[in-house]
Amino acid sequence: MTGPLATLKNRLLSALPTEDRGLLAPHLTPVDLEKGRLLYDPGDLVDQVYFPDNCVISMMTLMENGAAIESAIIGREGALGLMAAVAPRQSLCRAIVQAPGPALRIAAGPLHEVWTRSPALRDLIDRHGEALFGHAIQSVACNALHAVEARFSRWLLSCHDRIDSNTVNLTQEFLADMLGVQRTTVTAVAGSMQTKGLIRYRRGVVDILDRAGLEAMTCECYGAVRRGYERLLPASFE
């Protein structure tokens, strides 16, 4: 396979038969998604679908008072806006690039045309939707029931699964939104995890030093979400 699929890392696209990927290839455009780039806000028409390669997109639920919390992330195991392949969709959340990097983009119209011709793509979209829904509802429970350190560990592990780096760029503001806590709490939690040798935390940057330690600290939700993806999309985290 040549063109934008030549060095493909997105595992959802990789799971398609070669013929089906060939139908998509002429419509896929490589893009570099910079950190903080806003892809959608609630109510926006989903006219572009993104297949991350080595980046992470956060799906944020917004409140009327401006508060926000992360409900799920999407990386190379999936795609943002994939249900627009089935029918026109409006975004239900804010989608913002958290870990920058390359992705493939396709307009919703051509993707829908391939969807009508490809049973394999229809099946993948159905399974991806179920996995993402499971991810989101597990996040609801996690945010309500689990300690901040466990939730932070879960997020770092989930991000680490989706990028080729031990370093994650994170602002205090985003960490506070992601965890649903005050910035002072973020400082305290990051400092505690650094003292334990799990991470190195600098202004806007987290280096993962001890993945096994993070796995020991995280809650059950990390494993539950990962198992959901592995069951429905078996190549998600190979």
Flag whether the pTM goes above 0.95.
no
Q: Each residue of 169-210: pLDDT tens digit?
A: 887 788 887 787 888 888 899 899 999 999 998 887 899 999
Domain with CATH 1.10.10.10 in the chain: 147-218
- Which whole-number Å values give the CA distances from 170 to 128, 152, 203, 212, 237, in the listed order? 27, 12, 8, 21, 23
Superfamily the domain 3-142 falls into? Jelly Rolls (2.60.120.10)
Q: Each residue of 113-168: pLDDT tens digit?
A: 999 999 999 999 999 999 999 999 999 999 899 999 999 999 999 999 999 999 98
Domain with CATH 2.60.120.10 in the chain: 3-142
Q: Supply the pLDDT for residue 183.
A: 84
Q: Supply the pLDDT for residue 172.
A: 79
Fold assignment, 147-218: Arc Repressor Mutant, subunit A (1.10.10)
Q: Supply the pLDDT for residue 3.
A: 65
